[in-house]
Amino acid sequence: MRGEGRELTSDKPGFSPLAPRPSSLGRLLGVDYGKVRVGLAITDPERCLASPLATYIRRSAEQDARFFRELVKVEEIVAMVVGLPVHNDGREGEQAAAARAFGEWLVGTTRLPVHYFDERFTTVEAESLLLSAGLTNKRRKARRDRVAAQIMLQSYLDSGSPS
């Protein structure tokens, strides 16, 4: 049920063809973009495992920038992977455009490369996992975005995209 396992690149806004592909070492930050909440996941430095990190509640552009600059510094992030919510047929809609715009903003804010990856069904899979764990609706909501980011980022790693 995970994404289609392919890195998404194009000449659309938010993709930088000049951004180097992430090297095989260093932590990646997975980003499950939302207008209100942003799910975050992180890899180990060797990029074997993705773990949920946090759910960031968006505030102002200035506060968001400060948060992400501090996060990449403290966690020693070398690149980011933003999930793209594409349609089942592979087309990108408004939500994907918003995620690309957020990725472009992250590049400008952190000066780190951003890559995009198909995140189809990650929120559904995260909800299913959290339901099977017996969590209440309130606890599921608090964790859903970061678990979706973890699923997307692990799929990115499993696809071999970081090499």
* Per-residue pLDDT, 93: 84
Range among 4-13, 101-110, 120-129 rated most confident: 101-110
Provide the strand spans (E) within 44-113: 50-57, 77-84
Instruction: Report whether pLDDT(146) > 70.
Output: yes
Contact in structure between 29 and 77 (CB atoms under 8 Å): yes
Distance CA 32, CA 147 (A): 9
> DSSP letters along 128-148, please?
HHHHHTT--HHHHHHHHHHHH
For residue 9, give the H/E element and its range.
none
Average pLDDT over residues 57-81: 96
Residue 130 burial by Cβ neighbours in a 10 Å radius (0-12, 13-18, 19+): buried
**Letter string b/e over residues 141-155, b meaning 16 or more CB atoms within 10 A of that residue's CB:** eebbbbbbbbbbbbb
Average pLDDT over residues 24-33: 91
What percent of the chain is predicted at pLDDT more than 70? 69
For residue 128, name the pLDDT band (cuts at 50, 70, 90): low
- The mean predicted confidence, pLDDT, of the chain is 80
Instruction: Report whether pLDDT(6) > 60.
Output: no
